[in-house]
Structure 1
Amino acid sequence: MLLAFLLVASALLPGAKAGITVYSVPNQVVFATTSLSGSASAPAYTGVAAYNPTTLIPPPVPTPAVPSTFNIQLNTGGTPGASIEQSGDFIGFSVEMSVSNQVLGKNSTHIQVPFLNLLGNIVQRAGSVRVRVGGNSQESATLVDASKIPDGRILQKNLTGVTGTTQTPPLEFSDDLLYMMSNISSLVNVKWFLGIPWFVTKPFDLAIVGAAERILGDKVIGYQASNEPDLYIAHGHRPLPGASSYGPFDYFGEFSDLLTQLAASGLDPTGRAASLLIGPSVADATWTPEMVFDTGYVDAYSANLAWLSVEKYPTDNCAAAFNTGAPIIDPQSVFQDFLNHTAHTSLLAPYLNSTAFAQSKNKKMLMFETNSASCGGFGGISDAFGAALWGLDYALQMAHSNFSGAMFHVGGQNVFYNPFTSPPTNQSSFHQWTIGPIYYSALVMAEAMGATNHTQVLDLQANNNNEFTPAYAIYESGKPARVALFNYITDSTGKSDVTAVISVADATGAGGATPTQVRVKYLQATSVAQKGSYTWAGQTFGGNFASDGRLTGTEDIKTVDCDATAKTCSVKVPAPGFALVFLGGDDALTENKGAPSQTYSTTALTKTVNTATINPSVLATSNGHGGVGDPLRFSNNQLGSTSHGSVNTGMKTTPAMSLIVGCASLVGAALVAIR
């Protein structure tokens, strides 16, 4: 509340100009002060990466100019070149295990309401959502009794034992993390991936498998068997004592050891967990997937491998993030690399053999962890509108390339690429969540794919395969249902807007299947460099610290009447922007819906003593992070309190009874909902 108080106080001083200095400790903004003067230069930002205001300059308009009009001809009789059938939950989220207490909730009785809403948005469109809890920090995570972790927390980190380029700390966690995941699944249709620790193999620590099978059961759909084993040597985790090297055949042997130990452990009495393994999850650093496949890995462990997997980031920002000694990349110099379609086709081309191999073995291939750049992404790129277009194009290209899913990674406060970020702990009583551009990618992808699980995706190589204006056709049961149109260019003059002229051929090859009208939803911003407040069909999650996970504003779906004579539908795409075209009227908007719309509001205060309050309308305008149209903030029946001590933070709940916490209001209190 100090920040709010100082800002309100400064607003009461006429003629004063306020400069803000932000003070921080690693991974957390602590407080800010204001200095009053007649004039002042803009202070340098010294806070955490997640809220860095640095804005880049959009790349110039391409020369020669991109053709402004192009034709798209779709066919109803078959889909040559289209992908395998895809599910609506194609894009999920990979939550680094070490920050799961920031993202999912404090413990099983205190779940983040904004997180529920964000997942609920995906489920509404796709029917379900996949979430992985793992990453580098899973590899040495140890399940301990809850009594060993103080203050009702679910995990604690050993910050003196960090390892690897990303300085990952060893973790201890309690089974309350798994109870929290179970409670989340009782509210939202979440399917979970977990990881088995792999740094120590003699013996493996299999406690997480036994606990997850007992607590989560069939809500777990996969257990990762190693995370980026091809980086183990580089990160100092191999060779193991007594060995002189480590390669794909060594990993093959460790996989066998895992199965032997799991069978003897008694932790998997039904054998279910042993049939849900995920591998090899190579990062394509020193091993290719084929190097692992050539060991006979898939044939030998076919009964155990539910998924094949790789992990890939297009580049990294490790030199800047962790002072590795390598040359530091200037984000401005690589901004254009994230704003063209060719980058995706080039990135995924090496995996086309692997996805074809997976199909030949009746397996599904996952891009198990990815985002714009490893080691946290780039400021001004990963957190700008261009990343929303990049992530959506990347997702559709993965679907076209016959991956069966991908997971956008979620880190802590110190990264740029988060799909969503909870506020720092010391600000959670008056700030809400920050929704990043990659979440918009996931949301729109869910809507593009729908919930039928019979969706096929085709890269149309549109506009003479122009890299700035890619387009995809999306088929349902072999029939064209939607068209995805991109424009990566930033041009406020309107001269770089493009128009796709769409027609749908009938069985004779003519355009007789073209609808009389189409409905269009737009993903928009003024520039690829814009930070926050993007709109999807006129609705937004706002800027930093502005969202409880629900879209705000009035939905705006455009109707485009088609040319009955030419049998074409002309859809304009602004520069920059994305358009999802529904081939038909209102029925086309609703026929592929997932679950009914359901959001979670907060209903009770937990911070009820020793708190200062201020009129929310004053605070909303004074701190610059307020907004209108949010019933959570201004509805009188949402503002109240419970008795001191009414929330038992140590209580484990069952999936049928969940106590949920969310950062929620501008009145200085964390709120709780009871279901």
Structure 2
Amino acid sequence: MRAASLAALTTFSSILSTAQAVTVYGQIPLAQTLSVTSTETAAVPQATYAAYDETQLTPPEVPNPAPATAYTLSLQRDAAAVAGLSIPHVGGSFWGFSVEMSVINQVLGRNSSFLMVPFLNLMANLQERAGGVVIRLGGNTQEFATQVDSLPDGHTFGKTDSGSTQTTKTPAVLYTPDMFYMASNISAMLNIGWFFGIPFNDSVNWRLTIAEQAQNILGSNLLGLQAGNEPDFYQQFGRRQTYSPAMYSNEIQQLIETIDQNPRIPVKNMLLGPSVATGPWTPEQVWETGFIDRFKERLMALTVEHYPNNNCAANFDTGGKIIDPQSVLPDYLTHTAAVELVRPYINSANLAQAAGKPLYMFETNTASCGGFKGVSNSFGAAMWGVDYGMQMAAANFTHGMFHVGGQNVYYNPFTSPPTNQSQFNEWTIGPVYYSAIVLAEAFGKTNTSRIIDLWGNSGSVYTPSYAIYENDVLSKVALFNFIDDRGTGAHHQQVTITIPNAGVPSTVKVKYLLADSITALNNITWAGQTLGNKFEVDGRFRGDLNVTTINCDTAANSCTVPVPSPGFALVFLDNSTPQIEIGQASQTFATTAHTRVRNTATVDPVVLATSNGHSGMNRAGFGSTSHGSVSAAQRQTEVATAGLTVLGAMVLGCAWVVRSLVHS
């Protein structure tokens, strides 16, 4: 997925037709340390956005009858002896991220020369474990996205009314070509591959600029182009007067014909579809149109999108029934949740395999329209995300994408701070980011991982388990305990692993995902380390790495692994596995940080609802350290021949940015 494109930067000024001169400072180099100098601090504000809500729910009661607290898993060492294993290509980059287009400037950076350091560090954590990360920039806002030559004050993104009638009042995103250079600069530093979406609101006058620019600027770092986002909702949202799976397939044909006539889109076979949300349509209704056979040679992958629930009535006053988060909390805390989420796609996975195509869950999270307070931002969501990801992998999905929205959503894997913050440790991590970290370590870098749901402990849905094989040999075992016994310890699990023919090693290593309660909002740890709580995150793990060593009984050919209540354990059967020793990523992004002496940033009082990225206000106050100046007013490019040098970094308008100069 890597293709560092320094040469592309030299043409940047000719591609951008802006009203004022624009300087590109180039790629930001990796460094070993990250130093922070703060000249000013601001008080952490009271939580006014969903991303910082402190509502903690009551854990469900211990199930009655409760599952056994001790059970045995009898496993085979060799994959050849195991029926039902997944396809052997599941890599550690399984969980990627779907960033709503309207909030890109809150997550990735202000523009190609002002990138968010915490975001880079968070992606570096995953790269170290998995080898790379996949990111989709799109969502409902991609459907109306339009490229413009320039925006006021040199901005990369803007918004205007799209006229959408859908629940979340999707805006039209305006963007300049700098969006692609932003992605390209990130990929020059980190092994990140990108997905973009072709706007589908007008199938008569296709706007293919996004495909042209993405292919030209990103090169091999562009992985695919989504052809329609949730087309099963087009009629309901007023994007088409009438619409059917057959009509969608015919529009795909029209799109392909238009692409074929466009020499600025040289790669013709990287489309993704149909991305139905399993709402008005099922994937089968699209497959019945002959979609796969008809477009197989043009499709990079088959895609679907799905949220297990929605909170639209609460967040957008749709007139529907408002759901009490406490009432749905138990639904996320059993293995049934993951199994039922994946069950509708078993047939699609089989069809994808027969066609030689991967299957992606292209957008998902705990609930659409922002998730549920106390559920989506709780430790239980981290456990749910691990189980859901492993269940998808076991069913032959290749990737899943956690959706990322703005300030007013509960489910974000990571959230940048409100604009009246001015500290470096100011981001907020979401529980599902830990889910991505866990799967990255569980599946590793070999791209040979094969997964199977073990249904141990007499099939208890409160204590699921999986086996993971790499290079056709048993590598790891994943053990869950969804039960919260209020700290009594009465429902801790003792799981005995046996492998025939003296297959048990003398010791195993175990990493634990833990919190004080299944509903805990803070102090989540992975192998003893945490990224921090609200307004504390810079993207680096904190604390000492704590990997538990368990002695096995080789005479009895067994290892017994405790699993706290609640908690998750990843058991490494091979002590040489590299992921065992990974805590904080060895490479982070160096910066010296300070705030403006005169800080005039405030929270924008106008909250714009923007699809699943709602509350993605246009936070444009990312300027220079001089009051009244605009840092984007004067930019210039220099080409590197001998390396990269960091000139400095600032907290500007309360967002982290890094400025670096490519020099000879």
| Distance change >3 Å, CA 370–CA 646, structure 1 → 2 | closer
Counterpart for residue 276 of structure 1: 270
Contact 2:420 2:654 in 1 (8 A): no
Shift of 1:649: 6.3
Partners of 1:139 and 1:319 in 2: CA distance = 23
Counterpart for residue 619 of structure 2: none
Counterpart for residue 265 of structure 1: 262
Paired letter, 1:222: G
Contact 2:313 2:319 in 1 (8 A): yes
The 5 Å alignment of 1:591-606 reads: 597-603=586-592, 605=594
The counterpart of 1:81, out of the listed 59, 81, 84, is 84
Counterpart for residue 483 of structure 1: 477
Partners of 2:95 and 2:197 in 1: CA distance = 19
Shift of 1:669: 8.5
Would you say 1:494 and 2:494 are equivalent positions?
no
Partners of 1:472 and 1:247 in 2: CA distance = 39
| Distance change >3 Å, CA 256–CA 390, structure 1 → 2 | same
Which SS does the other structure have where 2:377 is aligned? coil
Counterpart for residue 112 of structure 1: 116
Partners of 2:630 and 2:561 in 1: CA distance = 56
Counterpart for residue 431 of structure 2: 437
Contact 2:130 2:444 in 1 (8 A): yes
The counterpart of 1:610, out of the listed 586, 598, 614, is 598
Shift of 1:674: 3.0
The 5 Å alignment of 1:283-298 reads: 283-298=277-292
Would you say 1:513 and 2:503 are equivalent positions?
yes
Partners of 2:49 and 2:626 in 1: CA distance = 35
Counterpart for residue 61 of structure 2: 60
Gaps of 5+ in 2: 1-37, 601-623
Counterpart for residue 313 of structure 2: 319
The 5 Å alignment of 1:559-578 reads: 559-578=549-568
The counterpart of 1:206, out of the listed 204, 208, 216, is 208
Counterpart for residue 140 of structure 1: 144
- Residues 273-292 of structure 1, C-alpha deviation per residue, up to 9 Å, x if partnerless? x2100000001111111111
Shift of 1:217: 1.1
Counterpart for residue 458 of structure 1: 452
Partners of 1:257 and 1:488 in 2: CA distance = 48
Which SS does the other structure have where 2:577 is aligned? helix
Partners of 2:647 and 2:247 in 1: CA distance = 44
User: Percent identity over the alignment?
Assistant: 47
Would you say 1:330 and 2:324 are equivalent positions?
yes
| Distance change >3 Å, CA 660–CA 389, structure 1 → 2 | farther
Partners of 1:369 and 1:197 in 2: CA distance = 17
Shift of 1:659: 7.1
Shift of 1:652: 6.9
Counterpart for residue 15 of structure 2: none
Shift of 1:595: 13
Shift of 1:610: 2.5
Counterpart for residue 532 of structure 1: 522
Partners of 2:351 and 2:648 in 1: CA distance = 45
Partners of 2:354 and 2:543 in 1: CA distance = 47
Partners of 2:299 and 2:226 in 1: CA distance = 10
Contact 2:509 2:580 in 1 (8 A): no
Contact 1:451 1:594 in 2 (8 A): no
Which SS does the other structure have where 2:467 is aligned? strand
Paired letter, 1:309: T
Would you say 1:92 and 2:81 are equivalent positions?
no
Contact 1:522 1:537 in 2 (8 A): yes
Partners of 1:164 and 1:236 in 2: CA distance = 7
* Bigger relative contact order (CA 8 A; separation at least 6): 2
Counterpart for residue 157 of structure 1: 159
Partners of 2:391 and 2:482 in 1: CA distance = 15
Shift of 1:4: 6.1
TM-score (norm 1): 0.83
| Distance change >3 Å, CA 110–CA 360, structure 1 → 2 | same
Partners of 1:673 and 1:532 in 2: CA distance = 32
Contact 1:186 1:655 in 2 (8 A): no
Contact 1:141 1:197 in 2 (8 A): yes
Partners of 1:144 and 1:400 in 2: CA distance = 43
Shift of 1:537: 0.4
Partners of 2:639 and 2:333 in 1: CA distance = 43
- Residues 619-668 of structure 1, C-alpha deviation per residue, up to 9 Å, x if partnerless? xxxxxxxxxxxxxxxxxxxxxx9899896566376896697997879x98
Shift of 1:171: 1.1
Partners of 1:109 and 1:480 in 2: CA distance = 45
Partners of 1:399 and 1:251 in 2: CA distance = 28
Partners of 2:465 and 2:582 in 1: CA distance = 22
Contact 2:135 2:195 in 1 (8 A): yes
| Distance change >3 Å, CA 660–CA 561, structure 1 → 2 | farther
Mean CA deviation greater in 421-430 or 324-333: 421-430
Paired letter, 2:252: F
The counterpart of 2:548, out of the listed 549, 558, 566, is 558
Counterpart for residue 369 of structure 1: 363
Counterpart for residue 588 of structure 1: 577
Aligned length: 593
Shift of 1:601: 2.9
Counterpart for residue 235 of structure 2: 233
The counterpart of 1:344, out of the listed 338, 341, 360, is 338
Contact 2:94 2:398 in 1 (8 A): yes
Shift of 1:226: 0.2
Counterpart for residue 50 of structure 1: 51
Counterpart for residue 612 of structure 2: none
- Residues 496-554 of structure 1, C-alpha deviation per residue, up to 9 Å, x if partnerless? 1001101122xxxx3x1111100000000010110022000010011101010010111
Partners of 1:361 and 1:5 in 2: CA distance = 56
Partners of 1:610 and 1:206 in 2: CA distance = 43
Would you say 1:249 and 2:252 are equivalent positions?
no
- Residues 229-260 of structure 1, C-alpha deviation per residue, up to 9 Å, x if partnerless? 00001111012xxxxx3111111111111111
Counterpart for residue 651 of structure 1: 635
| Distance change >3 Å, CA 560–CA 459, structure 1 → 2 | same
Partners of 2:414 and 2:403 in 1: CA distance = 10
Moved over 2 A (4+): 3-7, 159-163, 428-431, 588-597, 607-612, 641-665, 667-675
The 5 Å alignment of 1:6-85 reads: 47-77=48-78, 78=80, 79-85=82-88
TM-score (norm 2): 0.85
The 5 Å alignment of 1:382-397 reads: 382-397=376-391
